Amino acid sequence: MSDIKNKDLDQAEEMQLQDAGRDGEDRGARGGKNKTFLRKKVCRLCANKTPITYKDADALRRFTTERGKILPRRITGTCAKHQRRLALEIKRARAICLLPFVCE
């Protein structure tokens, strides 16, 4: 008997949650009040005015995965200008064997 009662309570709670969304009440993260603001990633290369060269293999390794792939902007936080430059320098370093093409 208690199982039926618990089932009815669960269904009632679900209906309340569904109704709350229809009434325009705050439903959590999608509402306007509970939004958390993420810090904008600042390009480290712009902030420090660090020159990017193909000769600095250790610095370039930070922008590649362990398999040797170039990390995207959204992960590294670099600006578009520096991401293009970074990709070019990584490819140059690969060509003269400072960085591997593929790590196994």
The yes-or-no verdict on residue 98 having pLDDT over 70 is yes
94 to 5, 17, 59: CA distances (angstroms): 67, 56, 14
Instruction: For residue 13, name the pLDDT band (cuts at 50, 70, 90).
Output: low
pLDDT digits (tens, 9 = 90+) for 33-83: 667 777 777 888 999 998 999 999 999 999 999 999 999 999 999 999 999
- 76 Cβ partners below 8 Å, 6+ apart? 63, 83, 86
What are residue 64's phi and psi, to 5 degrees?
-125, 155
- Structural domains of the chain, with CATH: 44-95 (4.10.640.10)
Q: Rg for the chain (alpha carbons), in Å? A: 25
**What is the DSSP secondary structure assignment for residue 72, as one 8-state letter?**
P
